[in-house]
Amino acid sequence: MARVEAEIEHRRWAAGLHCDPTLLEPSSDDAMPRSQAIPDAALVEAEPSPPVPTSSLTLGEAYEQYMTDPTQGWSARTREAYETSRRLAVSIIGKDVPMRSLARAHCRDYIDVLRFMPRNAAKRFPKLTARQAADRARTRGETDLISAANANTCLANLSSFLNWAVNEELLDRNPIRGLRLPDDTAKKDKRFPFSPSQLHAIFNAPLYRGCFDGERGYAKPGIERPRNARFWVPLIGLHTGMRLNEICQLDVADIRTVDGVRCFVITEESVAGSTDKNLKTGASERLMPIHKNLIDCGLLHFVDKQRRAGRMKLFEEIDPGTKGVRSVAFSKWFTQFLRSCGAYQPRTCFHSFRHNFRDELRAARVDHDLAMALGGWTNGTGKRGASENYGSGHRVAVLAEAVSQLTFREVDISHLAWNAK
């Protein structure tokens, strides 16, 4: 009803009428004669001011305002993802499309292009527009396309912008609401844990058994046993379930004793040095007691060595890149490493260690709330999620007891013991 009334009011104003003349005509059952009625001029003055003319902003201009809105508290990584989505949407829909004319048809056309968007199209076809790259893939029947999940992420980011535009009164409604590509891959099947044979191949590769050197010769057998980031990051990933960037951005000061327990302190705050860390969610901030296997491999000796050398970052050799995200470069190397040692399989990557860690928690029958706390997973919404706002969390001793129950029997790393070096 409100929308109908607003439309009527808008049409009346557009016709130059301040009010409906019918309302000024006397009725047969008026309580007072027409001569005693309020003068027309007074009625006109009492009328609200005319609606503000509609915005003439284009899609490109409005999106620029959205990206520079100071109220957006985005991390650097989130901003990068939104910027990628912005470039894609503006390229396909058109930067000069007036915001007021943006319709459902534009959004369906955008989705149709995304359905055939090649993977890494900007790098593979730098001279083609996004639409041209998609048309090329459609015509040739190419199958190396972006996943439905990635396409839906682009749609969700565009929808966030359009919601902002509605709030800013640049649009009456969000025309993309409810539009998504069907994703046939079950959430649990998007990434697999590493199989026992993959884990064996990883931790028996030349890097862990003896290689030519820890740089370009990591895949060639030799006598060197480097204890660098390439050695430690996968081991830490397996035994903690930490996300790759959580490991890569660790400060030396993030390995400390808490209530008598040696822990990884996973936080965005830095005790000393740079403040370049970021976490995925609020639940990501946590304490992770260090597993005995890592201590046996000499992790604490490595940390002390870094501290004596005056290092601020635990793995300073990992390149933060132009965007300040250290996991990007390491992820590319790790994919090459998996191929070099014969452990590469579809739907497995560094994040698979996180799945292995969750399976270990299940095998040890660790309480669900403890498992969520150790992995930095959210408990969702509803009563369970609301209950997480109460209390001060799990004691470190309780977390340490849970970690001590994890056996990791599917992989033998006895050859990596510190005294076996």
96-to-57, 58, 101, 226, 240 alpha-carbon distances in Å: 9, 5, 11, 56, 49
Enumerate the domain spans of the chain.
Answer: 59-188, 191-381+392-420
The answer to whether 241 touches 234, Cβ cutoff 8 Å, is no
Q: What is the pLDDT along the chain (421 residues), one digit of tens a residue?
A: 777 776 777 677 666 665 666 655 665 555 555 445 444 544 444 455 454 444 589 999 999 999 999 888 787 778 888 999 999 999 999 999 999 999 999 999 999 999 999 988 888 898 999 999 999 999 998 888 888 888 999 999 999 999 999 999 999 999 999 888 887 655 555 689 999 999 999 999 999 999 999 899 999 999 999 999 999 999 999 999 999 999 999 999 999 999 999 999 999 888 766 667 888 777 788 999 999 999 999 999 999 999 999 999 999 999 887 777 888 899 999 999 999 999 999 889 999 999 999 999 999 999 999 999 999 887 654 444 444 544 457 899 999 999 999 999 999 999 999 874 4
Check residue 281 and give its pLDDT: 74
Check residue 190 and give its pLDDT: 65
Give the CATH architecture of domain 191-381+392-420. Orthogonal Bundle (1.10)
Give the CATH architecture of domain 59-188. Orthogonal Bundle (1.10)
Residue 48, amino acid: P
Dihedral sign of CA atoms 351, 357, 358, 360 in order? positive
